[in-house]
Structure 1
Amino acid sequence: MKLYLTLFALKIVESCTPSFSAPLTPAVAPQPINIISNSPPLPPIAFQVDQPIPHSADYADEPVAVQKDSIIPFHNEKLKQRFSLFDMFRPLSQPATTAPLLIKEKPVDNIALNISFSPPVHWTFCFPSCGVNDQAVDEDDAYEKAKDDVLDAVQSSCVNEGAKCDIDSVDLQYHPESVLTEDFGSYYDLSGNRYKISGKTIPYKINNIHPGIINNFVLPMKITFKLSSPIPEATAKMLKQKIIDYLAARKFLHISSNSD
């Protein structure tokens, strides 16, 4: 019984006595990390590119002249022209510093045409009484028909070109010839010639000395007239060409050459 009481007393004393342990040591403050000196080296970054990273040495042998419409190419890319913002905002062209040269044309108030041509059938006649088809009755009749055609050509061309022409001043220098065509028969005229019709024109003649050789039949003609108001040389040239075209297309002249 005494032993039991003794052990109970010791337990009570032990529970009331404060326990003693080793003194607490303050924690050591962490040292600041020096990224440059203390941290381990970082591994190199792996670039995900299709081409190697360019360096300045790669362009040492590739001089490029940069222009306002050119763009420097990427590495390993050929120099080429590309779209540039300069094209969208291109400045307006600057006015020329020098005035344009003005060409002064000499005004023209007289028109003259010298023409070589093969005549239409109705500009010819045949003497004596050997005319065929549309041939004129005689030389005067052939000339009058030619003059009427020339007046039509001049008047129409002047209207189309806007030129004020004096129709009464038109002068025609043309001498119709007596022409014996092969349509009359296998004969030759007094000069030994026979003429061949093509359509409504007489462009060929044959001589009895060399009947196998066909020669061109060409006559001269000169047309002159005045203008009520002068026109520039360029306009006068166009007017002349219109007259020639009219005679060729509507009056069946075959033009060989013409000159002023």
Structure 2
Amino acid sequence: MSALDALRRPEYTGENRCLPCTVVNAVAVVLASLVTAPVSGPAALVVLLGGAALIAVRGYVVPGTPAFAPRLVRALGLAPYFDHLGSGATDERPDRASDDLAGEGHPAGGDPADLLGAMLDAGVLREGDDGDLFLADAFADAWTDEMAALRGLDVDALAAETAAVVPFDATGAPRFDGVSVEGEGRAVWLRPVHAVADVAAVRAMAGVGVPESLRAPAASPLRLFLPECPACGGPLVETTVTDGCCGGTMNPSETPTRRAVACDDCGTTVRDLGAVGVDEERPGN
């Protein structure tokens, strides 16, 4: 592997490039070059060209870029010029942390204990001898069958199926690399992998008699018990994954990582488990 290959970060460049991060880094490189110019013209040129090259092959230069660049762009009022940040209006990119079938502000079926009780009564979950909860075998089979039927759909069809199970009248469409359903002044955005998992879970719950009002609120919590990868049917494992935005948190050689549950076959992330701490092992260590 050449030195250039070692520097490359294709996951942060090309179509994966974060535009606000790139702009902030470009401005920083230009400013550093201007500061250096009165001292040494050749050194300023090296700073300018070297910084530009790093941005081109890595996607970033300034450490900590992911933490501050998007917020800085918004604070400067430049968000409307970056489509993936949105402008604060109704067409803003949904918050991916709220990737929930029932949608923000939904009535979550009352007390969580009542929701859990309904899952146990319907045979969705079972309780082990030590009090731990497990997915019931029959429900796991039904959920798996429903996911298999959904994963072959194109995104338009998946959006329509998602709109059919949300707890309000809605229409669905592909949006922001996911599935968006809107209606009655409410909106839900889901990653495709979660749309498959949640729609399948609702269908499987309907088959075992879970009350309709509880199905959508239960779908997201049930992801804790997913029997297989919704995207391909592969096995799920705990692993570490790189963040989608460019840059490290401490130095340019560092890549931000998160603990996650992901598919061992296709690599699709199903559930985040939190950021890897500075003292924890990172991939390749």
Structure with more helix by fraction: 2
TM over 0.5: no
Bigger relative contact order (CA 8 A; separation at least 6): 1
- What TM bracket, shorter-length normalisation? under 0.3
Relative to the length of structure 2, the TM-score reads 0.18
| Greater radius of gyration (CA) | 1
Relative to the length of structure 1, the TM-score reads 0.20
Structure with more strand by fraction: 1
